[in-house]
């Protein structure tokens, strides 16, 4: 445990899952519920939760040319290091609730499994970048990649670099997310992303409420 970790007083909640699983919707609903209850909430995302992160996000998701898998993993780690130091840790030390769309589990799933760089290597890189910081709760919205693709198609927006990958890529990502959840059941809350949004929100609120006491 780092010194910063020892001083942490807030709550760190992350949302994970494939694209189209509904992470943004659930993060918004949780933010609204906590704010109505009088909690100070910091809502953020990776990549792109800082000015530096916005630039990195544009490279990793929208760069027209190719980005090698290892370079991609390093870019995500760079975003994470800056984001944790300048946004997440300060908020937690103030006692705020941090709600974040994607964190290190996405790197393990997308770069470790999707890009086949290896779970342990990518996880170690991410933990180094974040100085060991893990969420108090990770909500995994699990969704079949074929269903996710139908949702993304319905949005009628151009796919980013990761969304455009083949189904086999997204199948590896999903399987890795589920494996991570199995390995750390105390940190993860796995939910069926095909359930109604309010049902999912209720399950998230119950777990967060228990953590807040």
pLDDT, one tens digit per residue, over 76-96 is 999 999 999 999 999 999 999
Query: Which residue, among 162, 78, 75, 69, has the nearest Cα to 116 in the 3D structure?
Result: 69
Asked if the model's pLDDT at residue 178 lies above 90, the reply is yes
Which residues does 28 contact at the CB level (< 8 Å), separation at least 6?
Answer: none
The number of residues making up the chain comes to 213
- pLDDT score, position 203: 98
- pLDDT score, position 148: 81
Model pTM? Answer: 0.90
Domains of the chain in sequence order: 3-212 (3.40.50.300)
Query: Taking residues 106-118, what's their average pLDDT?
Result: 95
Asked if the model's pLDDT at residue 4 lies above 50, the reply is no
Look at 167 and 144; give whichever has higher pLDDT: 144
């Amino acid at each position: 445990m780092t010194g910063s970790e020892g001083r942490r007083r807030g709550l760190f909640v992350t949302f994970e899952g494939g694209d189209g699983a509904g992470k943004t919707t659930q993060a918004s609903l949780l933010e609204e519920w906590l704010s109505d209850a009088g909690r100070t909430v910091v809502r953020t995302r990776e990549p792109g939760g800082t000015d530096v992160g916005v630039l990195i996000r544009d490279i990793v998701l929208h760069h027209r040319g190719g980005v090698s898998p290892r370079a991609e993993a390093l870019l995500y780690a760079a975003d994470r290091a800056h984001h944790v130091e300048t946004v997440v840790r300060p908020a937690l030390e103030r006692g705020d609730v941090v709600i974040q769309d994607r964190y290190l589990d996405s790197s393990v799933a997308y770069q470790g499994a999707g890009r086949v760089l290896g779970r342990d290597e990518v996880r170690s890189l991410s933990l180094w970048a974040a100085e060991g910081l893990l969420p108090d709760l990770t909500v995994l919205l699990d969704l079949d990649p074929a269903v996710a693709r139908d949702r993304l198609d319905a949005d009628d927006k151009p796919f980013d670099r990761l969304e455009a990958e083949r189904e086999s890529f997204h199948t590896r990502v999903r399987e890795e997310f589920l494996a991570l959840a199995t390995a750390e059941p105390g940190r993860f809350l796995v939910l069926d992303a095909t359930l109604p949004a309010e049902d999912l929100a209720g399950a998230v609120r119950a777990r967060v409420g228990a953590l807040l006491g």
